[in-house]
Amino acid sequence: MKKLLTLILALLAAVSSGGAAAGIATCTGKFPNPITDICWSCILPLSIGNATVGNFGGQEDSPNDVPAMCSCIVNPTIGISVGFWEPARHVEAVRKPFCLVSLGGLDLDPGIPAPEGARFTRSEGDGDGQSFYQAHFYMNPVMFYLDVVTDFPCLEHGSFDVAYMTEVDPLWNDDELTLILNPDAILFANPIAIAACAADCVAATTGFGITEMFWCAGCQGGLYPLDGHVQYHMGGVRTASLIAQRLTAKMHRELIAWGWHGKDGLCGPYYEPVMDKRFYKTQLTYPIPNTGKESGKCCQPFGRTTVTWGAGKEYPIRGEDFAFMLFRKRNCCVGY
């Protein structure tokens, strides 16, 4: 009798542990609350020409190499050039394919096979395993659809929408196939090029990354390959930050994301196949929004170390998928 009871308990434990393991890649999420989950101080600093006219909490700003006076031929305009950081895109890294974390955990699985996110351990080396995530890119011009500023011509029009899903992209799961998009990765797949990224890490932690080191993702390591495979998994927040930067760079390479900054952006967007990381800032919105209430500084340039802001932002099961608000630098010519 005692043996039978032991066997039953063992079977129940196995079923229970198996169910928990199977439920790890569940689809959960939350639509970002524009009032409580978005750090609006990230739109700062404001600038006119190359002069800063408004800031709060010491928010960083990228170069404003634009004249104070400007003119546009398309939609003829003569006015002044203004600069700000526009919250217009959203990116997320997820374990379960077709799980839309930023749409409240909507499972949009159409039955198309796609690899699930995972962490892989190794018996050799220092024990740091690899990882893989799926990722999604959203259109999210939140300032426009909330009418935060009325009659302002520099805001992108639109609504919250899914722009890109890596589950249907064969390049996202194959390091060799993705070379179609970034053959230049071969030049930087060596220890010297990766070691040089330490300088980019220092620069991103004190300000913005080094634009000439476009193959680096700051303290997150190498930007290439532009897919979901991460060589060293050093925590969910750090890895998700790298995935967010990779997907944004991939969108630029595929001409889905454009440049909106500098002199060329005063009259509208332009093609920028090589992303300039100095003109993006990210804010974690899920699982725990980084609102920076204690310091007023909640946005991080691409490549900044997660040691200073990522602690306590990840928790087991429901808190292992991540979403970021992307603030892009916008320079615009505003007519009189």
- Determine the pLDDT at residue 121: 60
For the chain, the C-alpha Rg in angstroms (whole number) is: 22
Predicted confidence band at 18 (pLDDT cuts at 50, 70, 90)?
very low
Contacts of 152 (CB under 8 A, 6+ apart): 334
Concatenated DSSP letters of 174-231? -TTGGGGT-GGGGGG-SHHHHHTHHHHHHHHHHS---TT-TTB-GGG-B--SSSSEES
CA 294 to chain centre: 23
- Res 296 pLDDT > 90: no
Distance (Å) of CA 183 to CA 126, 189, 243, 302, 336:
29, 11, 19, 22, 46
Predicted confidence band at 119 (pLDDT cuts at 50, 70, 90)?
confident
Predicted confidence band at 292 (pLDDT cuts at 50, 70, 90)?
confident
- Determine the pLDDT at residue 212: 93
Is the pTM higher than 0.85? The answer reads yes
Do the Cβ atoms of 139 and 165 come closer than 8 Å? no
Contacts of 238 (CB under 8 A, 6+ apart): 219, 220, 306, 310
Predicted confidence band at 2 (pLDDT cuts at 50, 70, 90)?
very low
Q: Where are the domains of the chain?
A: 25-335
More confident residue, 124 or 94: 94
Q: What percent of the chain has pLDDT over 90?
A: 57
For the stretch 248-263, pLDDT in tens is 999 999 999 999 999 9
For the stretch 154-167, pLDDT in tens is 898 888 899 999 99
- Determine the pLDDT at residue 147: 78
**Structural element, H or E, at residue 266:** none
**Structural element, H or E, at residue 279:** none
Over residues 315-333, the mean pLDDT reads: 94
For the stretch 67-104, pLDDT in tens is 999 999 877 889 999 999 999 999 999 999 999 999 99
- Determine the pLDDT at residue 293: 61
- Determine the pLDDT at residue 245: 97
- In whole angstroms, give the CA distance from residue 228 to residue 92: 12
More confident residue, 15 or 320: 320
- Determine the pLDDT at residue 262: 93
Mean residue pLDDT across the chain: 86
174 class by beta-carbon count within 10 Å (0-12 exposed, 13-18 middle, 19+ buried): middle
- Res 198 pLDDT > 80: yes
